[in-house]
Amino acid sequence: MKFYQRFAYYLIGLVIGCFFVAAVWSGKDTRCNYFPNARVLNDLRNKPFLYDIEASRRLSEDWVDTTDIKNVLTYGDVDFDKSNIKEEGGKLYIIYGKTSKNKDITLEVINYPEKAVLRNIIKNDKPN
């Protein structure tokens, strides 16, 4: 068998294999959350998310809004040295992130088994 014939068989098999792989993986909602930071943030995003009175008061101010909270819960960094503390039947997590105006904020989120509650939003002002 000549080289171009072997190459043609190889390409046909490769294309058929790609179609099978695409068919198997296209309908699945798969995530690769191997690291602890990604696991915690994914767990908080997938639960019903509630706001405490203090967090609601901070959201009524002009410097932060709910899209900033969602972005921090997607791209933020969990401080595990200050987090994973048992509190009120859940675990407290401290998450650092930025607002859409590039201001540093800190979220205090209590992760209960059935819900997540945003306890406080702290503006991190940097001295110039």
Question: Could you write out the DSSP letters of every residue in 24-84?
Answer: HHHT-------SHHHHHHHHHHHS-EEE-HHHHHHHHSSS--HHHHHHHHHH-EE-TTT--
Q: Supply the pLDDT for residue 87.
A: 83
Q: Give ∠ CA 102-105-108 in degrees, rounded to 5.
A: 155
**Which uninterrupted H or E stretch holds 19?**
helix 3-26
Neighbour-count burial for 45-83, b at 16+ CB within 10 Å, e otherwise: eeeebebbeebeebbeeeebeeebbeebbeebebeeeeb
Round to whole Å and give the CA distance between 97 and 109. Answer: 13
Per-residue pLDDT of the chain (128 residues; tens, 9 = 90+): 899 899 999 999 999 999 988 887 776 666 677 899 999 999 999 999 999 999 999 989 888 999 999 999 999 999 999 988 888 889 999 999 999 888 999 999 999 999 999 999 999 876 54
pTM of the model: 0.74
Round to whole Å and give the CA distance between 123 and 46. Answer: 25
Q: Supply the pLDDT for residue 49.
A: 94
